[in-house]
Amino acid sequence: MTDSRGPLIDRIVLNPVQKEAVEYDGGPQLVFAGAGTGKTRVLTAKIAWLMDQKKVPPGAIFAATFTNKAAREMKTRVEAFTGIPCAALWIGTFHSLCVRILRRDGRPLGYPSFFTIYDADDQQSLLKAVLKELQIDERTMAPQVAAHAVSRFKNECLTPDAAVAKAAGFYDQQVARVYKTYQQMLRKRQAMDFDDLITNTVFLLRDNPDVCACYRRMFQHVLVDEYQDTNHAQFELVRLLAGESGRVFAVGDDDQSIYGWRGARVENILSFEKVFAGTRVFKLEQNYRSTTAILDFANAVIRSNSRRAAKKLWTGRTGGDPVVLSRFDDDRQEAESVSAAVARLLANGSKPTDVMVLFRTNAQSRVFEEYLRRRNIAYVIVGGMSFYQRREIKDCLAYLRLVVNPKDDVSFDRIMNVPARGLGEKARETILQAAGRTGASMLETVMDPQALSDFGRGQKGLDDLRGVYAALAGMNESGAKAVDILQKMLEVSSYMDMLEADENEESESRIDNINELVNAVTFWQEDNPERTLADFLEEVTLVTDLDSLDKKGAEGRVSLMTLHSAKGLETKHVFLVGLEDGIIPSRMNLEDPAKVEEERRLLYVGITRAMATLACSYAEQRFRFGSVLPMDPSRFLAEIPRELFKTEEPKKPAAYAVAHRPQPAGKPRNVMPQPQERKRPEPVFDDFSQDTVQYRMGQYVSHKLYGQGRILSISGFGDDMRMTILFNDGARRKLIAKFANLEAV
């Protein structure tokens, strides 16, 4: 398309290398796009150029991203560039695109089009049932360990039979048995987990040449974002779709490959040229985000990795504030100093959203939260529990999922007795036994009057459950809107009545969350008037970590997050804390050179989030595992030339009263001292007030509603203290201290 403004490619602002990559049409392409080099712009421009210049129909383009948010933004930009509606464009996450293929053509795999998608919690529930059936003690094989093993099999595209054949020792054989039984249970429930979505698509295309040929004809071009984060199954999917033509346009940065623990293979991007013959490589090295000082620091970190493509970021933004590296006596001093620096930035006009505190693990956030609260600085922890993972939301979604798929036993298990209707463990076992005799699902068994003709005292609860499902299923079959079905569910199930009867702060919060769910479904239905309840459930199930970031909740707040959560983000001022051996690199990865390289890439990702200033820090001792432990500076810091950063030793707050350690005459203070040179002072911490330590783990307390119980765990401090309490009725409840009104026993 051309118009009075000139050719499209000339209207998209691109540097010479970007433009060359967009206009190249000679076969497979690999674009190494360093941090802040305009990766998304190039990928978007490529799609627009294919549609405008090469006249490729939107439906002939397959573009895989790693977040729904990125896909939406790219689709909007393409429409703005070209003026062509992009509804037919196949752009989305690998998982969402595979769902489209499986719902259209997945019947050869033995699945109906309305299969349910299980999230991580659902997977755990089903794996517990598998372990119980196979009589494997969870102390021998925890469900989380089994889930990781199953995921590994699927990422490698191993079928259950192949895994059984490959198993060597007894434990491997047990794991393979779990995998095989788990897949059988999934199929019986007409469900797939997240890994299945990609692996089953690979199996579909690999084992059904006619289906594969159809999709190869359909997709003239295959584009992949963040190629360095692909696992083996995703690589196989791309290879199968591209076929002999090799029309693949891959964009990524091997220096930002940080998801090896999820199965991602940095080798996929490093071996791209060998797999796709005739590949043309482009390198985007001009950074538009950070200052020279920050980029020089980042380049110095990453160049120590042996497995990487040769490249070096540069920018036209010369100069900038030098990177600061600070040494602290302990983690509390580090948090106090960082919070003071944040306060100065805010006082000098910076917005809270311009500030980010990054750490290796979520556990490190607690002390920073404490000191930010002391200064009344609002903050948000990015990467916490997703809205759709909250208990009351998952309860509501379980009801709705059963409406779409009555074979979903995991969802039935969740809501069978929620709200309480007298259907306890004995009733559950009776239903399970009856279902086992007929091969039906638990809900199908409940709905069959002949299967459970004499149910004793639980008959009223059974009739209640039948009435709820019948009402909702009838609405769905008649084409009712998703929001109407949700509101009907809340009414006939008495779920809201249950919460309102509790009359406590926790229930009020849960009611607010359900009202927010109603709002979310209402807005979704307004944007998608023709789509169904099944479509809504699919969309919320496929929400990714970054998609669940609450932008509204983050407004006016400083962001605290792990380095993994920060990927893809940027901000003006970054505090990179806890740079110590055993933290980064993680103590779990110190013995594996490949994992140490991934840890170095993780540090590189954190550094390159900063646009204007970067302050790094480490502590000489840290409270970990219940004790104060001595720490060494991260080995990565020793790889950085001293001229690329300045060192600071902030003035110690009076509360610490740590004596200054004199240095030998004429010898400069070493910001990265060797362990044997260090004499560690005894830690001196602030005294806590009685209010702060009012509750302790193991303490017995009394609640006016729940009775007596014992505190199992505590997180947070002061008004934000949260406790898990085991009450005498056997229930574990999580309460907020300031609302619980507990009394010591």
Q: CA-based angle 698:703:705, to the nearest 5?
A: 140
Separation of alpha carbons 108 and 715, rounded Å: 49
Separation of alpha carbons 442 and 407, rounded Å: 7
Residue 698 DSSP one-character state: T
Q: Which of 119, 225, 236, 370 is catalytic?
A: 225
Separation of alpha carbons 196 and 118, rounded Å: 10
Separation of alpha carbons 498 and 555, rounded Å: 33
Q: Is 256 part of the annotated catalytic residue set?
A: yes
Between the alpha carbon of residue 600 and those of residues 255, 308, 578, 585, 594, the distances in Å are 9, 12, 14, 7, 10
Yes or no: say if 36 and 570 are a contact pair by the CB < 8 Å rule.
yes
Q: Which residue has the tokens 């409940």?
A: 446
Separation of alpha carbons 604 and 300, rounded Å: 9
Separation of alpha carbons 80 and 101, rounded Å: 27
Q: Are strands 29-33 and 280-284 parallel, antiparallel or unpaired?
A: parallel
Yes or no: say if 353 and 571 are a contact pair by the CB < 8 Å rule.
yes
Neighbour-count burial of 304, counting CB atoms closer than 10 A to its CB (0-12 exposed, 13-18 middle, 19+ buried):
middle
Write phi, then psi, for 357 (nearest 5 degrees): -110, 120
Q: Is 484 part of the annotated catalytic residue set?
A: no
Separation of alpha carbons 723 and 742, rounded Å: 11
Q: Which of 256, 291, 562, 613 is catalytic?
A: 256
The full 3-state SS of 401-426, as one line of letters, equals HHHHCCCCHHHHHHHCCCCCCCCCHH
Q: Is 409 part of the annotated catalytic residue set?
A: no
Element (H, E) at 703: strand 700-703
Residue 309 DSSP one-character state: -
Neighbour-count burial of 465, counting CB atoms closer than 10 A to its CB (0-12 exposed, 13-18 middle, 19+ buried):
buried
Q: Is 225 part of the annotated catalytic residue set?
A: yes
Yes or no: say if 350 and 611 are a contact pair by the CB < 8 Å rule.
no
b/e string for 353-389 if b means 16 or more Cβ within 10 A? Answer: bbbbbbbbeeebbbbbbbbbbeeebebbbbbeebebe
Separation of alpha carbons 487 and 425, rounded Å: 29
Residue 535 corresponds to which amino acid? D
Residue 286 DSSP one-character state: B
Q: Which of 41, 414, 609, 622 is catalytic?
A: 609
- For the chain, the distance separating the N- and C-terminal CA atoms, rounded to the nearest angstrom, is 77
Q: Which of 18, 29, 39, 581 is catalytic?
A: 39
Element (H, E) at 211: helix 209-218
Separation of alpha carbons 247 and 62, rounded Å: 11
Q: Is 433 part of the annotated catalytic residue set?
A: no
Q: Is 719 part of the annotated catalytic residue set?
A: no
Q: Which of 226, 330, 409, 597 is catalytic?
A: 226
Q: Which residue has the tokens 């759709």?
A: 388
Residues known to be catalytic: 39-40, 225-226, 256, 609
